[in-house]
């Protein structure tokens, strides 16, 4: 699995990895962190013990608590309802790879449809399969991805403008306006320029 993650990193511009901390997730985290197979180490963003270690700090470990599961399911639902999460059509070519991928998508849909929501007397929602031990790995990966998309969207919305030593800078988000540079150098002065703009 660590090799699969590394292959994806070499093929795509991956900026964040969300991984289940249970079920072997920590073992994969350790392999990625040590740079398994002579690769660039992939480090946990929240692990202070690797603060000064060289590597790509893009890994976010997630513990599946009832609250997190509920939030992640509603994040996935929101993406589906707003047409921001789409599934592919049946492949029209005779490509073996496309057919295999489409089979995975059908399996994912089947797992999603098998999830039953129950609520405790305290109002805590549980999302689970009707019988214990039924496979729901693809469903779990989907809600991890939906949660990750939601978190990444928050990061973009909260992005601070980058102030250079001169000129105007506009953050990359809808409706953002240019910010006039107030002069001076150093991070403290830059922070004060951001505060002045917001007051």
DSSP letter for each residue of 26-49: HHHHHHHHTTGGGPPPEEETT-GG
Whole-prediction pTM value? 0.72
- With a cut of 90, say whether residue 132 has pLDDT above it: no
What's the average model confidence in pLDDT over 40-68?
A: 94
CA distances from 118 to 107, 122, 124 (A): 23, 11, 8
DSSP letter for each residue of 138-179: HHHHHHHHHHHHHHHHHHHHTPPPPP-SSSEE--SSTT---E
- Cβ pair 108, 139 in contact under 8 A: yes
Q: Give the number of residues written for the chain.
A: 199
Helix (H, G, I), strand (E, B) or coil at 194: helix
77-81, 128-132, 164-168, 172-176, range with the lowest pLDDT:
164-168
Residue-range domain boundaries for the chain: 2-62, 66-157, 168-198
Confidence of residue 94 (pLDDT cuts 50, 70, 90): confident
pLDDT at 69: 94
Q: Is the CA virtual torsion 191, 46, 72, 14 positive or negative?
A: positive
Question: b/e string for 115-148 if b means 16 or more Cβ within 10 A?
Answer: beeeeeeeeeeebeeeeeeeebeebbebbbbbbb
What's the average model confidence in pLDDT over 124-144?
A: 92
- With a cut of 60, say whether residue 11 has pLDDT above it: yes
Sheet holding 17-20, edge to edge: 17-20, 56-62, 42-44
Q: What is the pLDDT of residues 30-51, one digit of tens each?
A: 999 999 999 999 999 999 999 8
- DSSP code at position 132: T
Confidence of residue 181 (pLDDT cuts 50, 70, 90): very low
Contacts of 189 (CB under 8 A, 6+ apart): 182, 183
Cα–Cα nearest to 116, from 107, 125, 108, 128: 128
Q: What is the pLDDT of residues 112-123, one digit of tens each?
A: 999 999 998 888
């Amino acid at each position: 699995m660590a090799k699969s993650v590394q292959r994806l990193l070499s093929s795509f511009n991956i900026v964040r990895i969300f991984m289940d901390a249970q079920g072997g997730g920590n073992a994969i985290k350790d392999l990625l962190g040590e740079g398994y197979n002579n690769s660039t180490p992939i480090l946990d963003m929240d692990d202070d013990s690797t603060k000064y270690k060289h590597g790509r700090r893009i890994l976010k470990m997630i513990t599946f608590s009832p609250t997190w599961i509920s939030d992640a399911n509603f994040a996935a639902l929101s993406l589906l309802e707003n047409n921001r999460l789409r599934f592919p059509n049946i492949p029209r070519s005779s490509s073996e790879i496309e057919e295999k991928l489409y089979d995975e998508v059908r399996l994912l849909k089947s797992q999603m449809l098998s999830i039953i929501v129950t609520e405790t007397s305290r109002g805590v929602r549980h999302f689970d399969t009707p019988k214990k031990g039924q496979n729901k790995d693809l469903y779990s990966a989907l809600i991890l991805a939906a949660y990750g998309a939601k978190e990444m969207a928050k990061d973009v919305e909260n992005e601070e403008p980058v102030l250079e030593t001169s000129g105007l800078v506009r953050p990359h988000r809808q409706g953002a306006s240019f910010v006039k540079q107030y002069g001076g150098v150093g991070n403290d002065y830059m922070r004060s320029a951001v505060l002045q703009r917001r007051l």
